[in-house]
Structure 1
């Protein structure tokens, strides 16, 4: 693959970052009802077409696009002054995000089936328990995705090839999304919090800023 073609794929991956986080923000807008306190409302919610669409795009497609974007960002920064940090950060973030595909796929396809079974009178389906290994994979993925994302933000900040404050915004969005959004939501309401969507929007803004700057830089270089 020639250098020009490689550059096109990297720029496409950079633009995948804002798209990934925009659909993630959309998918997290409406919190689920409490499964324990109101199983009927929960079952109706997860059985709806809107739930299926939001999770198919927001959770599953958004995660796949995020992995593409993470690799592209790491490759873009590889030859910068922060390349030694960017490449391991890319690997950590991509590994964590890949692990998060496990709960994303389950919430997209298995959860609606559980809700549908409950609404048809099979109340015992609410007693279904997933193995502890799935919880461990989710928590590990969450940790790796958070650490890798923050490190990528630091790498961007230090790179001198992308706007440094886009890296700071990326790191702030990561903290808001993963810690004050996902983790805090699980520890309190058991569902998504507004901070999750706000964090995703900050990540989308930072990703868009990086993509625009990277594309502009490549355009200027090609003219030169």
Structure 2
């Protein structure tokens, strides 16, 4: 395959990183009301047009676009000094992101239906229970996304072809978004915390830095790995 053609696709894919994380930040800007304390407010919120659009393009769309960016970053780093680390890190992050599509799709399409049913007088719908396997898939997705993202940040730092501090920003953003945002939010308020959009913005900045550098330089050819 023409390497110049491949390089163009890789560089284009790198721009998917900031785009996906900006979309994700948008979808998590406004936290949901607590469904246990105020189910009516929660139902009105999740059945609104804003919720539907922000989760369709921000949460679900952002997650899909991020997969393209992760594959591109792994391909870009494959020939660098950190290639041996970058490829398994990319695989872990992509697998985790794919698993996180499950709750993203449920939030986008199922949750609004639950909210409308509640507002229509079917209060028992709030007792809807999802199987434990979904929770297990979600937790596994979070674990893989965190581990893969942190390792990708380390790979960027060690690559010798991308800015080191872009890797550090990427790691900080991942921990802020996933650990201090998603996980802590579920454990406390049951909704997104301000740390979640803040972490997404940090990852968008890191992704834009990586993409800008990648556009200005050739895709690294294979070199001895460490």
Compute the displacement of 1:2 (Å).
Answer: 1.2
Corresponding residue number in structure 2 for 1:138: 138
- Residue 120 of structure 1 deviates from its aligned partner by 0.5
Equivalent-residue separation in structure 2 for 1:151 and 1:125 (angstroms) = 41
Note if 1:206 corresponds to 2:206: yes
- 1:71: which partner in 2? 71
Kindly state the Cα deviation for residue 218 of structure 1 after the two structures are TM-superposed.
2.8
- Give the gaps of 5 or more residues in structure 2: 222-226
Work out the CA distance in 1 between the residues paired with 2:207 and 2:86.
15
Equivalences, count = 220
Alignment of 1:1-224 (within 5 A): 1-218=1-218
Aligned to 2:224: none
Moved more, 133-142 or 2-11: 2-11
Name the SS of the counterpart of 1:185 in structure 2.
Answer: helix
Cα deviations across residues 103-154 of structure 1 (Å, max 9, x unaligned)?
0000000000000000000111111000000000000000100100000000
Normalized against structure 2, the TM-score is what?
A: 0.96
Report which of the two has the higher share of helix: 1
Deviation per CA, 1:44-97: give whole Å up to 9, x if none. Answer: 000000000110011100000111100100000000000000000000000000
Could you tell me how far 1:8 is from its partner in structure 2? 1.0
Deviation by residue 1:176-219 (Cα, 9 ceiling, x = unmatched): 11110000100100000000000000000000000000000139
Q: Structure 1: which 5+ runs fail to align? A: none
What TM-score, normalized to structure 1? Answer: 0.97
Moved over 6 A (4+): none
Q: Kindly state the Cα deviation for residue 12 of structure 1 after the two structures are TM-superposed.
A: 1.1
